[in-house]
Structure 1
């Protein structure tokens, strides 16, 4: 089975074209080598998938006949992703909040109205 189709079948990507684009960009590696979307995939291979700033490590257990339900996904793959990858995304989330607080950029409509009201009160 093609690797892009496999990633779509195990519900790692929402559409097959998104999986194809990820392969073309080099986000998918099989046994630590970047692959094309047309590469044939066999059992007992390890995939490294970079998605949403997380490096998922997946072992192929079996090839599904077609797209499978969410409950059956674990029959065809084994997730070997370390917990540190998920913890790193939590740290990134906090670091983004640190540099720029929400709402501190461009004034909102309410802020603008408050400023206009303040200026009109001072003009009198």
Structure 2
């Protein structure tokens, strides 16, 4: 059985941040910039608090069965909630989406590379 790779995105909105929490997030904004966003096993947080109070966590997980994506999504949501709670950051409107990369359509370069291998 092959391993499937899942990409999970957990989105939400910071809620009820104190002035100190907001200042802390703004100070750490460069390391959480959307241009540095990546799907990682521990999760990567990105936000632009100067523009809006929304945030996104990106997680990468794996499983062997198609149904494993549900557990991976649940783990990602719990990890995001725990990260926020540990720092005392309130949140609302938490929602997630997940993609099984084994089910994703091939891009143009991938199709071309696959065609060259079959020649």
TM range (shorter): under 0.3
TM-score normalised by length of structure 2: 0.27
Which structure's residues are more often helix, by fraction?
1
Q: Which has the higher contact order (CA 8 A, sep 6+)?
A: 2
TM-score normalised by length of structure 1: 0.26
Which structure's residues are more often strand, by fraction?
2
